[in-house]
Amino acid sequence: MAWLIDRWFGRPFTFSDLSRVAGFLAVAGLATATSAIGGAATMALLHNAAPFWEVWRAWFLSDGVGVVVVTPLIIALAQLWREPPSRREWIEGTGALSLLTLARLYTLDYPSDSWLSFNPAIVVLPPLMWLLARCPPAFAMAGVSVASILIICATTFGIGRYGDVAIPMIERARGAQSIVATGTIFILVLVALFAERRRSEAQLKQSNNRLQLALDCAELGTWSLHLKTGRFENDMRDRHIHGHGQEWQPKTLGEMRSQVHPDDLPKLDAAFQELRHTGGSCRTQYRLAPFTDEERAGREGWVTLEGAFVRGDEDRPEQLLGVTRDITLHKRAERALADRNLQLALAGTYALVGTYAYDVGSEMYQISRLSTVCQRGLRKRDAPNGEPECTRMTYPASRSASTKPWLSGGANTIASIVLSVSMARFDGSIHATSYRMTPMDQHHA
């Protein structure tokens, strides 16, 4: 039996799901049936009066009950040895196990004509379920084993209902066997179900922890909208993004819409309307409704939102889930960069100052301002894209000076270069140009 379990399920074996319970029962039935064949054959050979199938059935039932009752307890104790319970579980499990033993003893001593003898489970089942729900499986298996042993003892010594002389002894024995076997199988099934539930809860908790870590690292807030009830829920970070504390908890979409700038509500509604028709996900940005003079002066907060529908039966949207992120600093940086670029463009236009970038590795020029090209008498589409081409535009007398900084190793040792060269325009005129060149990264030229 142990070989079959090890071959089918590996080590260590635990009652962690229903397939393992079914496999254990199949192995137990196969092992006891094989053992019963050998016992019945021996009895038939040594005692001619003993019918083979009667002996086989009695042997099978007795061995089967013993295997089903004792083996799970041994397996659970081995698991308890590998995974010791906490102090709380020890105290709670021992207390519930003692209560179960007392309850089983109390019901066994009642006479057969008592109402309690017909349904002793109302006293035994509560502490047994307590062991199943809150303690390791070994305590529940110990509880059902104690209850089974007490039933066998009551049948053997004729105590209570199991000692009713009006019922034949063989029938009382079969009744005790059936109660013990079915009770143990019932507990095994519950142990497997509770184990699956604990495993699912642990996986869900781990998944939630990973999700929360990702949200914290990305500084994302979460929200959800139940379409049927209209109930709105969000987390603490989403409330903080919208400028509120933990005490402010919006319950409806209307309360949440009041936090959006009125001018951005149509854009937000259009994004969700398109999402409802096309499915998938949507992404949009909106400003927060101004509440202070500073926000009314143009320093309002910005939020980016992403959402997606959760669909149920018949592909109908049931819930809207999404995340939010505060992009106020990003928007302010974009605005500041746009202002600086505009100022640079105005300065280049009025002062005839152009900017460019040269990549030493690829020998490519990037003409970033139109004024640079205009100084050379070119259209922007005719701008040079490499050092040789730009060098050919340099007047021969200044060509050596203009190419000297780009010689191999030159840019590694020069912090800043100022050159004055003469440029040959396409119309044949000579144009004096002053260059100021500074490497962006001296370590990498």
Burial of 147 by CB count in 10 Å (0-12 exposed, 13-18 middle, 19+ buried)? buried
Return all residues near 80 (Cβ < 8 A) that are at least 6 apart: 136, 138
pTM, 2 dp: 0.64
- Report helix, strand or coil for 356: strand
Token digits of residue 288: 């927060």
Q: pLDDT tens, 91-100?
A: 998 998 899 8
Query: What ranges do the domains of the chain cover?
Result: 2-209, 219-333, 352-437
Rounded to 5 degrees, what are φ and ψ at 415? -85, -40
DSSP per position, 155-208? HHHT-GGGG-TTS-HHHHHHHHHHHHHHHHHHHHHHHHHHHHHHHHHHHHHHHH
Q: pLDDT tens, 155-187?
A: 888 887 777 777 888 888 888 888 888 888 898
CATH class of 352-437: alpha beta
Domains 219-333 and 352-437 equal at CATH topology level: yes
**Residue 80 vs residues 10, 84, 184: alpha-carbon distances, Å:** 18, 5, 19
pLDDT along the chain (445 residues), means of 10: 77 82 86 83 72 80 83 84 87 90 82 71 86 87 87 83 79 84 89 90 92 91 88 89 78 84 89 80 88 59 90 80 92 88 78 71 63 50 46 44 46 60 66 71 49
CA torsion sign for 172, 178, 183, 184 is: positive
Return all residues near 358 (Cβ < 8 A) that are at least 6 apart: 364, 365, 366, 387, 406, 437
* 76 contacts 138 by C-beta, under 8 angstroms: yes
CA–CA separation, 291 and 265 (whole Å): 16
Instruction: For the chain, count helices (H), then strands (E).
Output: 16, 9
Q: pLDDT tens, 246-264?
A: 677 788 888 888 888 889 9
Bridge partners of 435? Answer: 419
What local confidence, expressed as pLDDT, does residue 369 receive? 52
CA–CA separation, 138 and 128 (whole Å): 12
CA–CA separation, 20 and 16 (whole Å): 7
What local confidence, expressed as pLDDT, does residue 12 receive? 81
Q: Which CATH number describes the domain made up of 219-333?
A: 3.30.450.20
CA–CA separation, 418 and 216 (whole Å): 49
Give me the residue label for tokens 């730009």. Answer: 390
What local confidence, expressed as pLDDT, does residue 428 receive? 66
How many CB atoms are closer than 10 A to CB 72? 26
* 41 contacts 52 by C-beta, under 8 angstroms: yes
- Report helix, strand or coil for 288: strand
How many CB atoms are closer than 10 A to CB 386? 14
What local confidence, expressed as pLDDT, does residue 315 receive? 75
Give me the residue label for tokens 């209902």. Answer: 161
CA–CA separation, 392 and 424 (whole Å): 9
CA–CA separation, 73 and 340 (whole Å): 77
* 232 contacts 250 by C-beta, under 8 angstroms: yes
What local confidence, expressed as pLDDT, does residue 425 receive? 61
Token digits of residue 391: 């060098």
